Amino acid sequence: MKKILLLFLGLVFCQTGVVKAQSRYWIQLKDKPSSLPPSLSPAALASRHQRGLSVDETDQPVHTAYVEQLARLGIRPALKSRWLNAVSAELTPDQATRVRQLPFVKDLTAIDRNLIITSTTPEPGTRVQMAPVMSQIQAEAFAGAGLTARNVSIGVIDAGFHGADSTGALRHIFARKGIREIRDYVNPARPLNSFFQSLETMSDFHGTEVMTAIAGLDPADNVLQGLATDATFYLARTDHGGREFRGEEDNWISAMEWMDSLGVRLINTSLGYAKGFSDPKENYQPTQMDGHTSLISKAAQLAADKKGMLIIVSAGNEGDDRTWRIISTPADAQGVLAVGATNAKVWNRIGYSSIGPEFLPYLKPNVACFSLYGTSLSAPVITGFAACLMQANPKLTNKELISIIEKSSHLYPYGNNFVGYGVPQASRALALAQGQFVPPTAKSIKVTGRTYALRLPDYHEPTVSLFRKKDEMHVLAQEAARIQNGKLVLTRQHGERRTTVDLKQEVIEVIWE
């Protein structure tokens, strides 16, 4: 597999004379008129009412009078955010100074143009083999219950959807007119009838691969590649593969607000923003992956808390990058479901999958599943998983769905910052969604000394996965250990306080005293 990290430098053109360099900013406004009606469709309002979620000032549009005053200064907002009460715009240094002095402006936040995106894309034509992950998550349990995400709407925010309408595994969606609406925030002038045909950058294949992992069904080989085969979709292109900059976060926020206005509750975003590589003062730092520094994480948290949206996000592909290693934003937001990637057979963390920062007070990633092609394609698998649960019990809230998916996972409750609670299991999740009792598959034992022989007479595989941890959540090292004569001999490492023994169907937490 060729891993393609989309690394592009945005250029700032410095010219002397008449033209001055421009930078993009978020212009955060102070208030809104209380009389403005919410920018929500009747379906969105009904959905909020059904889940007991209030309509507040974050649902009202940005004050038109403020936008008009900016226009009189020659400032044309690129995008507007009712959630953040802000607009984004290109400003010269002189304009930035004048905007800061306006009485209705609360703050001015610069948007960096020198950022990498942490998604990965396979080479065009590479076929994504999803059969192993379907087995890993017990897809047959959903199929046996007739769950195909019927009557569930899914929003997909991505880099592009080139060729989706001619991809065999997605033909069934287009045949039943399952794509309800599309928007291109990168090139809004592009005719929508070329949304699937026009190839601007090679990253425009990325959303197509994501769609396949959510809902793909290969008719030639009859291979199920995604679970949500009967879902309806709303697609937004927010990322330009030719240049990557933090300004694309405002595209993402606008897409989220658009989908919220239509009543879409389930979002897949296999995009993540991490670090830049030109001016260090303008780039994200690892310590800023804290769930509340980036505007994209603030918007994601607001969507989860106030709009009832379930946002499923790729954890990131920086696990092998010693200068970063941790998850990207918005996977760092507490309210989103961040998905890492596992190996196919052992179910521990695959090398590229990003790790949860130790400074977070909550667990990230939340769960994980197998993907050879990056967390960009493990997140959509879990999106299809969530869509089936929403069909099984439409009354479940976003927070209830996250809880069910976590509790169904094979390591629960002994999660860690490598794979979260592990691989979700459809049979357990379905029982939990229907309010049934699910017997525990985990136990803990306390041991003393430096070695311990754990008897495993009923475990028939030659190796077992171990997570050696320095506390309840944080992994020192993972390894595959051999079982000999029905026994696993554990030797405590320096700083090791817990060892999670992953038996797939059972988990044993060894607590060293």
What distance in Å separates the CA atoms of residue 235 and residue 180, rounded to the nearest whole number?
Answer: 8
- Per-residue pLDDT band for 200 (boundaries 50, 70, 90) equals confident
pLDDT at 11 over 60: no
Show me where the domains of the chain are located. 131-274+284-338+371-397, 442-512
Mean pLDDT, rounded, of the chain? 88
Kindly tell me if the per-residue pLDDT of 357 is higher than 90.
yes
% the chain with pLDDT above 70: 89
- In the chain, the amino acid numbered 16 is T
pLDDT of the residue at 308:
97
- Joined tokens for residue 153: 């709407």
Cβ neighbourhood burial of 244 (10 Å; 0-12, 13-18, 19+): buried
Distances (CA, A) of 230 to 127, 178, 402: 22, 8, 22
> What's the rounded mean pLDDT across residues 469-488?
95
**Weakest mean pLDDT among 22-31, 453-462, 499-508:** 22-31
Contact 70, 27 (CB under 8 A): yes
Asked whether residue 120 carries a pLDDT value surpassing 50, the answer given is no
For residues 61-75, give the mean pLDDT: 91
pLDDT above 70 for 15: no
Specify the pLDDT at position 278: 43
Q: How confident is the model at residue 192 (pLDDT cuts 50, 70, 90)?
A: confident
* 401-427 residue pLDDT tens: 999 999 999 999 999 999 999 999 999
* pLDDT exceeds cutoff 60 at 6: no
The region of weakest confidence among 5-19, 271-285, 482-496 is: 5-19
40-72 as b/e: b if 16+ CB within 10 A: beeebeebbeeeebebeebbbbbbeebbeebee
Helix, strand or coil, per DSSP, at residue 376: coil
Q: How far is Cα 389 from Cα 225, in angstroms, rounded to an integer?
A: 17
- DSSP label at residue 66: H
Phi, psi of 287 (to 5 degrees): -65, -15
Question: What's the pLDDT band for 457 if we cut at 50, 70, 90?
Answer: confident
| Token digits of residue 476 | 């020192």
Q: 513, 371, 452: which is closest to 3 by C-alpha? A: 371
- Distance (Å) of CA 400 to CA 54, 490, 494: 18, 37, 38
Give φ, ψ of 244 to 5 degrees: -120, 125
Residues 6+ apart with CB under 8 A from 230: 148, 149, 150, 178
- Residue 207 has which token pair? 């959303």
What was the pLDDT predicted at 112? 52
- Res 230: pLDDT: 97
pTM: 0.85
Higher pLDDT among residues 139 and 12, named by residue: 139
Give the residue from 491, 471, 487, 251 showing the smallest Cα distance to 479. Answer: 491
The CATH H-level (homologous superfamily) assignment of domain 131-274+284-338+371-397 is Peptidase S8/S53 domain (3.40.50.200)
State yes or no: pLDDT of 252 exceeds 80. yes
Question: Which of 35-49, 293-307, 333-347 bottoms out in mean pLDDT, i.e. has the lowest?
Answer: 35-49
* Across 7-21, 239-253, 373-387, 425-439, least confident range: 7-21
- Tell me: pLDDT of 284 over 70: yes
